[in-house]
Each structure stands twice: as C-alpha cells, then as structure tokens.
Amino acid sequence: MKITDLSHVVHNHMPVYPGTEEPFIEHPFKLEACGYNEARLRMVSHTGTHMDAPAHMLSHGLTLDRMPPGKFFGKGRILDVRGKNAIDSRFISYNIPDFAGIDFLLLFTGWSDHWGKESYFSGYPCLDREAAEFLSTFTLKGIGIDAISFDKEESTEFTVHKILLEKEILLIENLTNLEQIGSQEFWLVCAPLKFENSDGAPTRVISIEGLMLQNSEVK
C-alpha cells in the first residue's frame, strides 16, 4: 500500500491568494517553561491546501461542518493536463470516457512547481466554462487542482467555482505531489478542519494506492 501526502505545509510567510492575510503561527507555550508545547495559529479559512464549500460563493450553499464525513473520502482519478492552459471538456471526455465509480477528479497541471514563486499566481491552467458545466453533470464529490484557483486571476465572476459549487462539488486547491501518485485510480482522503459555518478550510489530502475496498462501504 502506498500513501502520498498531497498537501502543502502551513507556515509563516507561505504563499497565499493575493490580498489574503498570511497565516501567523507562534509558540507561546514551550516545554522548558510550561512543561508542554502548544502553538497559537491564526489564518483565514482558505489557507494553503484547502477545500471550498458551496457556502464560499453561494448564499444558499452548504458549509463543510454540515456535510457527512463520507463526503471527504472516495475513489480518486488523476488526469494529466500538463501543457494545457484551458482544460476543455473534449480533452476530459477523451481521456475519461466513463465517470462511473469516480468520486474525486484530480487535475495534474504541474503548476505546483511554481509554489513559492511569484509565477504561481498568474497564468495557471484552469477549467473553461464548458468543462465545468460538463463535470457538473456527474455525481462527483470533489475536484482538486495543483494551482491556486479554479478561475483565472482576472476573474471577478468566479464562473467555474459557482457552476461546480452549485452542484455541491467540493473544490480542492493548492494540491502538491501529484506526480508521486503511481496509479490513475486510488482512494482519496481529504479531511477539512471542522469548525462552525466553514465556507472552506485547510485540508490534509492523502492518496492511498493498493487498498482494497468496495464502493458500497463508503457512506
């Protein structure tokens, strides 16, 4: 069995969406002085590798804390879209003609290679509107991408987000290490931090290859 961590580490001065407050982590309680270590964290809900809930963009949308845990686990499928700027429905349907049994689609753009550089924030690949509408017709639990957003940096309408979130398809952004997944199909665990009225949350995402489990066991 192979387990791969697909999440960035949260730390001070890490890359964040332009205009977003950086996380702040301090260590006010130290083992030497208090007998234990305890950190204090301050960060916005869409820090690092994180998940967007429908409530992120939709006034009537669900928050993550109201979703059952089975929503964050299922069969994953990776799609290599490296070299493509606009990810269109024709390319997706050609490479994945059947979405039966797929809970999570991970888009491997290769853009995580830019993590920590200014180039990470612009020119990244995205789904086009037609592709978003195409994917919204399937019973996916979520879609992930190794880039900072599902919409272009100049977008003010966030069309792709809204199309998918309207169907309660969770969006996972800022993935990493997708090149380490050795199989097109695997199990995915994407457990967001659980807090009240969460429009999104930092998420520890892992892939599991070689684990035998029937789809009927996933609630």
Per-residue pLDDT of 58-70, as tens digits, reads 999 999 999 999 9
d(CA 215, CA 123): 37
Residue 51 one-letter amino acid: M
Write down the domain spans for the chain. 2-7+45-213
d(CA 186, CA 102): 10
Question: Where are any strands of DSSP class E within the chain?
Answer: 2-5, 24-29, 38-42, 50-52, 73-80, 86-87, 104-108, 126-127, 142-145, 170-173, 185-192, 200-209
Whole-structure pTM value? 0.95
Q: How confident is the prediction along the chain (219 residues), in pLDDT tens digits per residue? A: 999 999 999 999 999 999 999 999 999 999 999 999 999 999 999 999 999 999 999 999 999 999 999 999 999 999 999 999 999 999 999 999 999 999 999 999 999 999 999 999 999 999 999 999 999 999 999 999 999 999 999 999 999 999 999 999 999 999 999 999 998 889 999 999 999 999 999 999 999 999 876 654 555
d(CA 81, CA 89): 12
d(CA 29, CA 197): 29
Report whether 187 contacts 103 (CB < 8 A).
Answer: no
pLDDT at 36: 97
Q: Which of 212, 217, 143, 186 is nearest to 4 (CA)?
A: 186
Q: Which of 41, 9, 15, 14 is nearest to 27 (CA)?
A: 41
pLDDT at 212: 78
Residue 14 one-letter amino acid: M
Residue 47: count of CB within 10 angstroms of its CB: 24
Question: Where are any strands of DSSP class E within 38-184?
Answer: 38-42, 50-52, 73-80, 86-87, 104-108, 126-127, 142-145, 170-173
Q: Say whether domain 2-7+45-213 belongs to CATH 3.50.30.50.
A: yes
Bridge partners, 117 (sequence order): none
pLDDT at 211: 84
Q: What values do phi and psi take at 48, rounded to 5? A: 60, -150
Report whether 170 contacts 71 (CB < 8 A).
Answer: yes
Bridge partners, 187 (sequence order): 75, 208
